[in-house]
């Protein structure tokens, strides 16, 4: 009965989310899908269709009202806050529309912040790899710059490196290019796409830029909290 | 264990927002300075006041019991028989004295071996001092000079001559009494006791202690001379006692009263009004310290609440990345701790410099013409610990509220906010 958990690294089964309140809001309704390791999935949909709600559930920031979620074979539907914190640190990387880099720390320190959360040993282990990544994204000369000394595109590149700092299995990105002009958006997207492909990371990216979504492996379209379509990006490109 | 993450973020934020950090440290430093200054000054004033009282007198005087008049009808025999009139109690000798005092001396010394710093027999009585046509009534004290010097330092305050090694037929008097009598070292005075005995004595020393009661009205002679002037034989009129800590005098007196058949008076009984004044002063300095502490705490809390709300988004994102509530809490608790420790250190430094400068200032006392400290300052380890302890505790307490607000930031709300 269960979907092939072993072959998929992320599995969402009949997940629903209702926000309580005077008028309870249903944000997600019977959402099911599975993502294979290394897949790059774009989630699109109108504003209010439930994209962020879904990403928050996958990011263990919120809990589902119904259904189950498995990450890497672990049932993460009902975790204690402590377990959620640990899994977020070990398995997940986040990218947001705004970079939220800490203004008091340099670019390199910001990128290594998730390691620092896990302990100084982790910083020492990941620093060489991080230096290579800075080189890779063309920021080798800006390691010690503070966020305000970087351009918008550079800030977001540092934020991407930060999401990769702990070698996470999953990268969750909520409109990572939403705050950039289209040239920069393209560049950042391509970077994210290439790096995660090289590193074989799984990416779930929310976007409302259909051009970018078309460059993913797969596009899931949400509408009023339900999956309206779920197909390979090539198919979507054909449709539009 | 303080996590390096919380510590590094706390330190970075403090050094990054330099203006705000310096402002907060300044508030704490000012408060600590004020606390240390007020407590040292009040401490010093009290020590000065108390020592002007206690340095020149015995802390305890042990004397024969004054017999209370007995009420005859309270006696058990009177209640048994209404016609009982009672025996007339034998009238005590008018002069009160302690005979055979040597064993008592040992016994008293053994009762409080640690608390008594001086215990000596003395003879004390009124006397009229005369020189030619001048007659002045004074107080005669007879004691062994080397012993009595532990009660008040006369030897160290001699204007002329000596106190130690006082021989029979010699007397030591205060500088003001000498001036009134018009006598100098080596002159002779005559002493007339209430018992009608007259003796003459050579002035062997003139002291200038600055204590009016001593310098104006007291005549010291050897114990034996006083005993014969007051017709005491080998008896004494009492024991004079100094205690280690002047504020325990009344407690020690209480202990001794329970175990000795003597009347015991402490300096504290005689100076009740002064002591209650000191208590009121203590109370008001504690009020000042309390209000200063509270206002420093509020300043720290206010500045940290602002910094937490400015960091709201970064806190949310750190939490999304896997920062625990405890790690976020520690960032701000550490900031409160660091701010208050820095402020306390600077405040201590500033107040020590200030107190050092003030304690060097001198003024000339109008009454004695002697130079004295303008500010009697007594800085104690206790003041230091209280001032710094309060500052650090306040910093921590003040940061609890903002730190717990920070740890409660919900990453979902931050993400929604974008
Ligand atoms: N905390 C909340 N409380 C109540 N309703 C919410 C809350 N968060 C989101 N919603 C509602 O849930 C629905 C989905 O929102 P969201 O997941 O943010 O959509 P999207 O990211 O696609 O714009 C919307 O109708 C929104 O108003
Ligand atoms: Mg959204």
Whether residue B290 sits in one domain with residue B198? no
Beta-carbon separation of A118 and B322 below 8 A: yes
Q: Establish whether residue A65 lines the binding site of ligand 1, counting it when its CB lies within 6 angstroms of any ligand atom.
A: no
Number of domains in chain B: 2
Q: Tally the residues of chain A.
A: 240
Helix or strand or coil: residue B99? coil
β-partners of residue A206 are A43, A174
Distance A96 CA to ligand 1 centre (A): 16
CA distance B317 to A123: 19
- State the pLDDT at residue B84: 55
Contact A176, A96 (CB under 8 A): yes
Look up the CATH architecture of domain A40-60+80-239: 3-Layer(aba) Sandwich (3.40)
Q: For the segment A158-217, what is each residue's pLDDT rounded down to a tens digit?
A: 999 999 998 999 999 999 998 888 888 999 999 999 999 998 999 999 998 899 999 999
Whether residue B154 sits in one domain with residue B27? no
Beta-carbon separation of B317 and A116 below 8 A: no
Answer yes or no: is B22 within a domain.
yes
Is A62 within 8 Å of chain B by CB?
Answer: yes
For B288-342, the DSSP string reads HHHHHHHHHHHHHHHHHHHHHHHTHHHHHHHHHTT--HHHHHHHHHHHHHHHHHH
CA distance B68 to B46: 37
Contact A16, A177 (CB under 8 A): no
Whether residue B411 sits in one domain with residue B309? yes
CA distance B148 to B146: 6
Find chain A residues with C-beta within 8 A of B13's C-beta: 104
Is B18 within 8 Å of chain A by CB?
Answer: no
Whether residue B284 sits in one domain with residue B235? no
Whether residue B235 sits in one domain with residue B119? yes
Q: Establish whether residue A51 lines the binding site of ligand 1, counting it when its CB lies within 6 angstroms of any ligand atom.
A: yes
Closest CA to B222 of B121, B372, B152: B121
Is A65 within 8 Å of chain B by CB?
Answer: no
> What's the whole-model pTM score?
0.75
Whether residue B235 sits in one domain with residue B112? yes
Beta-carbon separation of A100 and B13 below 8 A: no
Contact B289, A30 (CB under 8 A): no
Q: Mention every residue, 6+ apart, whose C-beta is less than 8 A from residue B358.
A: B374, B375, B377
Q: Establish whether residue A50 lines the binding site of ligand 1, counting it when its CB lies within 6 angstroms of any ligand atom.
A: yes
CA distance B36 to chain A (A): 35
Closest CA to B122 of B103, B138, B135, B105: B105
Helix or strand or coil: residue B83? coil
Residue nearest to atom 16 of ligand 1 (CA): A50
Answer yes or no: is B60 within a domain.
no
Domain boundaries, chain A: 40-60+80-239
- State the pLDDT at residue B279: 86
Instruction: Provide the number of CB pairs (under 8 Å) joining chain A to chain B.
Output: 69
End-to-end CA distance of chain B: 35
For A1-68, the DSSP string reads ----TTT-SEEEEEEEEEE-SSS-EEEEEEEEEEE-TT-EEEEEE-TTSSHHHHHHHHTTSS--SEEE
Whether residue B30 sits in one domain with residue B107? no
- For an interface test with A, the pick among B21, B415, B416, B417 (most A C-beta atoms closer than 10 Å) comes out as B415
CA distance B336 to B166: 66
Last residue of a domain, one of B195, B226, B243: B243
Q: What is this model's ipTM? A: 0.88
Whether residue B290 sits in one domain with residue B174? no
Find chain B residues with C-beta within 8 A of A90's C-beta: 322
Residue nearest to atom 18 of ligand 1 (CA): A52
Find the domain containing B127 and state its range: 100-243
Whether residue B279 sits in one domain with residue B409? yes
CA distance A24 to A18: 6
pLDDT band at A5 (very low <50, low <70, confident <90, very high): very low
pLDDT along chain B (418 residues), means of 10: 78 91 91 88 86 88 74 57 55 68 92 90 95 93 94 92 94 95 95 93 94 91 95 94 92 92 91 87 87 87 89 91 92 92 93 88 71 78 86 89 93 81
CA distance A124 to A117: 13
Helix or strand or coil: residue B179? helix
Whether residue B234 sits in one domain with residue B315? no
Residue nearest to atom 14 of ligand 1 (CA): A50
């Amino acid at each position: 009965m269960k979907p092939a958990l072993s072959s998929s690294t992320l599995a969402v089964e009949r997940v629903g989310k209702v926000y309580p309140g005077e008028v309870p809001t249903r944000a997600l309704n019977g959402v099911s899908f599975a993502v294979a390791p290394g897949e790059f999935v774009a989630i699109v949909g109108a504003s209010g269709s439930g994209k962020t709600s879904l990403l928050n559930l996958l990011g263990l920031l919120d809990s589902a009202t119904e259904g189950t979620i498995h990450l890497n074979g672990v049932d993460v539907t009902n975790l204690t806050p402590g377990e959620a914190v640990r899994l977020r640190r070990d398995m997940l990387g986040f990218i947001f529309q705004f970079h939220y880099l800490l203004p008091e720390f340099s670019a390199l320190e910001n990128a290594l912040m998730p390691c620092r959360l896990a302990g100084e040993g982790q910083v020492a282990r990941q620093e060489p790899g991080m230096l290579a990544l800075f080189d890779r994204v063309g920021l080798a000369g800006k390691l010690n710059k503070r966020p305000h000394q970087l351009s918008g595109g550079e800030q977001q590149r540092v934020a991407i490196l930060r999401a990769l700092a702990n070698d996470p299995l999953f990268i969750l990105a909520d409109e990572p290019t939403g705050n950039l002009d289209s040239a920069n958006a393209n560049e950042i997207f391509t970077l994210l796409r290439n790096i995660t492909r090289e590193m074989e990371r799984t990416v779930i990216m929310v976007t409302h830029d259909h051009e970018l979504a078309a460059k993913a492996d797969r596009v899931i379209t949400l509408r009023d909290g339900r999956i309206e379509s779920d197909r390979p990006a090539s198919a979507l490109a054909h449709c539009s | 264990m303080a996590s390096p993450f919380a510590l590094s973020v706390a330190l970075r934020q403090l050094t990054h927002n330099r203006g705000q950090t310096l402002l907060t440290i300044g508030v704490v430093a000012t408060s600590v300075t004020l606390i240390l200054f007020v407590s040292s000054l009040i401490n010093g004033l009290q020590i000065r006041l108390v020592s002007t009282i206690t340095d020149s007198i015995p802390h305890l005087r042990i004397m024969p019991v004054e017999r209370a008049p007995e009420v005859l009808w309270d006696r058990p025999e009177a209640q048994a028989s209404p016609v009982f009139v009672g025996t007339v109690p034998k009238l005590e000798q008018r002069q009160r004295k302690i005979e055979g005092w040597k064993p008592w001396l040992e016994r008293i010394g053994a009762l409080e071996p640690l608390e008594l710093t001086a215990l000596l027999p003395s003879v004390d009585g009124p006397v009229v001092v005369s020189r030619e046509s001048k007659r002045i009534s004074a107080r005669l004290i007879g004691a062994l000079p080397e012993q009595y010097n532990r009660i008040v330092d006369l030897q160290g305050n001699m204007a002329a001559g000596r106190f130690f090694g006082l021989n029979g037929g010699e007397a030591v008097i205060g500088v003001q009494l000498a001036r009134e009598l018009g006598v100098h070292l080596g002159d002779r005075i005559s002493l007339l006791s209430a018992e009608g005995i007259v003796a003459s004595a050579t002035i062997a020393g003139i002291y200038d202690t600055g204590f009016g009661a001593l310098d104006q009205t007291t005549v010291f002679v050897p114990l034996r001379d006083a005993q014969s002037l007051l017709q005491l034989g080998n008896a004494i009129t009492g024991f004079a006692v100094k205690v280690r800590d002047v504020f325990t005098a009344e407690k020690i007196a209480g202990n001794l009263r329970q175990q000795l058949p003597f009347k015991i008076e402490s300096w504290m009984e005689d100076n009740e009004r002064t002591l209650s004044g000191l208590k009121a002063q203590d109370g008001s300095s504690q009020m000042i310290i309390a209000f200063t502490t509270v206002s420093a705490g509020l300043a720290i809390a206010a500045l940290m609440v602002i910094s937490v709300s400015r960091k709201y988004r970064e806190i949310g994102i750190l939490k999304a990345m896997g920062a625990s509530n405890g790690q976020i809490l520690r960032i701000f608790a550490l900031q409160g701790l660091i701010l208050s420790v820095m402020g306390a250190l600077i405040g201590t430094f500033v107040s020590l410099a200030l107190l050092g400068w003030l304690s060097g200032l001198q003024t000339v006392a109008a009454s004695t013409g002697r130079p004295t400290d303008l500010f009697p300052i007594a800085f104690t380890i206790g003041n230091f610990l209280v001032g710094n302890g309060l500052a650090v505790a306040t910093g921590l307490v003040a940061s609890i509220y903002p730190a717990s607000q920070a740890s409660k930031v919900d990453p979902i709300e931050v993400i929604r906010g974008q």
